[in-house]
Structure 1
Amino acid sequence: MPPSAEPRSASHSGGVQSLERAFDLLERMADAGGEVGLSELAASSGLPLPTIHRLMRTLVACGYVRQQPNRRYALGPRLIRLGESSARLLGTWARPHLARLVEETGETANMALLDGDEVVYVAQVPSRHSVRMFTEVGRRVLPHTTGVGKALLAQSPDDEVRALLGRTGMPAATEKTITTPEGFLTELAQVRANGFAVDDNEQEIGVRCLAVPVPDSPTSAAISISGPAGRLTEEATERIVPLLQEVAADLSATLAAPAAGTAAAEAAV
């Protein structure tokens, strides 16, 4: 197997190779849009076709992959339950970090994921102020209207962003919403340069949002602070953004901790 095709989850520390390879194939299928052929998997993974065929047969039998009438393979429905449970746990692990943001800023803190063409909010700690924002756990919005959406899409190549925007149509949530691909791509360039994203009355009039991506997250994730525009001023932004970036790094470490804990436990046996 070429070095570049090593399973991305491989630990090289006594793990079960067939499991590592099976999960690597599932991730490659997800990266390819959820449906691939055996030859595509062989090219991307470097594994021999007989090995891939054997692994895929097992995944099909378990319901995690299904074979289409055109003989290509697609991610199976049993993965949905795993994904939903994982998303709930992700929100649980994020809450202490969001609580710190609320404690230090006084504003509502959120965590969101990119799910298909939409942003879904998976965790929130509300502000102590009586004024509440539009966001709530489970709500789905189009990414071009939100700070978290900008922070998430800034991690993607422009051609992928254009394709997504073409599918969503970029409807306006307010008169401030960016509604052209060119304008949005210019905004994403600014997000990359600044290291954070701003939703300035674009999802809800009177509300500003500051967002940053969670680095090295197992799935594309971002955290944000949202509040009335009168409180989230430029001066407040200068104070809050470094805190957001620090908390995002801490959250990233938390999400990586279970794997590290497992390795330590195995080493102690």
Structure 2
Amino acid sequence: MEQRPSTAIDKALWVLEALAEHESVTKIATATGLPKSTIHRILQALAEHGFARPDGSGGYLPGPKILTLAGRMLTRFDPVRQASPVLARLHEQTGYTVHFAVLNGDEAVYAAKLEGRKPYQMPSRVGMSLWLHSSAIGKAMLAAMSDTEVAGIAARTGLRRRTPSTITTQAALRRCLAEVRRQGFAIDDEENEQGVRCVGAAVFDHNGHVVAGVSLSTLTHELSVDDARELGPLVADTAREVSRTLGAPMESLASHG
């Protein structure tokens, strides 16, 4: 095990984090690398403040204070604010319009937009909803879902056509999503708006569930399909970084990367 800092705060935080998955002092000791005597002392202090509670058999469980604190924090948690610095960097790197959209039932809703450094604007706005099957952000989200979930959304929405290039059958959608899963990002090739090409990737929350997406958008004459594929890994990396700010587990990001 690598050498860890030895401050009291570090040790308390390690124990608190391990308490989320382990009850016994032995398992917490294995997870943190701390002596059992130290862990006992920290757990007793956490219990005094309501962050842990004895389970009656020598182990400990998370205490009620954790739930209270988590609830208060979640009411102040703003995914757009968390994502903003990462989105701004993508915008600076590419100069294209950057979108952040959140999953809302069977559609997505734009929650943030950074306009590209071009003499034109994308036909989108914060608060606008978009179909999942016709957009890069949406297809990236669908690719992170199970086949059953995708089939349900397709049945409910009808896979309506927006442009001549829109995917309108479940068979074609399945083939597209298989490619999205393979490469880690989705491309909207004039499927949502004619003359507009986008690259999108999915964002995951602390439970590893898809909740949002990031995309780059510009006019087709500015971005060829080959260029879009080259930018795909950058968009996917940005989405993974946003996911990390939302607390997504590393194993979830790896499985979707």
TM norm structure 2: 0.65
Task: Return closer, same or farther for 1:18/1:92 CA change in 2, 3 Å cut-off.
Answer: closer
Q: Take 1:109 and 1:138, find their aligned partners in 2: how far apart are those partners? A: 15
Tell me, yes or no, if the aligned pair for 2:189 and 2:225 is still in contact at 8 Å: no
Q: Take 1:234 and 1:150, find their aligned partners in 2: how far apart are those partners? A: 16
Note the C-alpha offset of 1:123: 1.4
Residue 91 of structure 1 corresponds to which residue in structure 2?
80
2:196 matched to 1:239?
no
Letter in 2 for 1:166: A
Deviations 1:240-268 (A, max 9, x none): 222112222222222239xxxxxxxxxxx
Aligned residue runs from structure 1 range 132-211, under 5 A? 132-211=121-200
Letter in 1 for 2:141: L
Aligned residue runs from structure 1 range 1-16, under 5 A? 10=20, 14=52, 15-16=62-63
Aligned residues: 188
Q: Take 1:217 and 1:148, find their aligned partners in 2: how far apart are those partners? A: 19
Note the C-alpha offset of 1:19: 6.7
Secondary structure at the counterpart of residue 235 of structure 2: helix
Q: Take 1:212 and 1:112, find their aligned partners in 2: how far apart are those partners? A: 11
Tell me, yes or no, if the aligned pair for 1:90 and 1:122 is still in contact at 8 Å: no
Task: Return closer, same or farther for 1:217/1:19 CA change in 2, 3 Å cut-off.
Answer: closer
Tell me, yes or no, if the aligned pair for 2:204 and 2:246 is still in contact at 8 Å: no
Letter in 1 for 2:63: V
Q: Which runs of 4+ in 1 moved over 6 A?
A: none
Q: Take 1:132 and 1:196, find their aligned partners in 2: how far apart are those partners? A: 23
Note the C-alpha offset of 1:208: 0.6
Residue 248 of structure 1 corresponds to which residue in structure 2?
239
Q: Take 1:235 and 1:183, find their aligned partners in 2: how far apart are those partners? A: 21
Note the C-alpha offset of 1:17: 4.9
Note the C-alpha offset of 1:163: 1.0
TM norm structure 1: 0.63
Report sequence identity in percent: 38
Structure 1 portions without partners, runs of 5+ = 1-8, 24-81, 258-269
2:98 matched to 1:109?
yes
Tell me, yes or no, if the aligned pair for 1:200 and 1:209 is still in contact at 8 Å: yes
Q: Take 1:140 and 1:217, find their aligned partners in 2: how far apart are those partners? A: 24
Q: Take 2:121 and 2:206, find their aligned partners in 1: how far apart are those partners? A: 28
Residue 119 of structure 1 corresponds to which residue in structure 2?
108
Note the C-alpha offset of 1:146: 0.5
Tell me, yes or no, if the aligned pair for 1:211 and 1:222 is still in contact at 8 Å: yes
Residue 213 of structure 2 corresponds to which residue in structure 1?
222
Letter in 2 for 1:247: T
Aligned residue runs from structure 1 range 35-50, under 5 A? none
Deviations 1:10-36 (A, max 9, x none): 46673425975xx9xxxxxxxxxxxxx
Structure 2 portions without partners, runs of 5+ = 1-18, 23-50, 53-61, 249-257
Between 1:11-20 and 1:150-159, the stretch displaced more is: 11-20
Note the C-alpha offset of 1:190: 1.1
Secondary structure at the counterpart of residue 221 of structure 1: strand
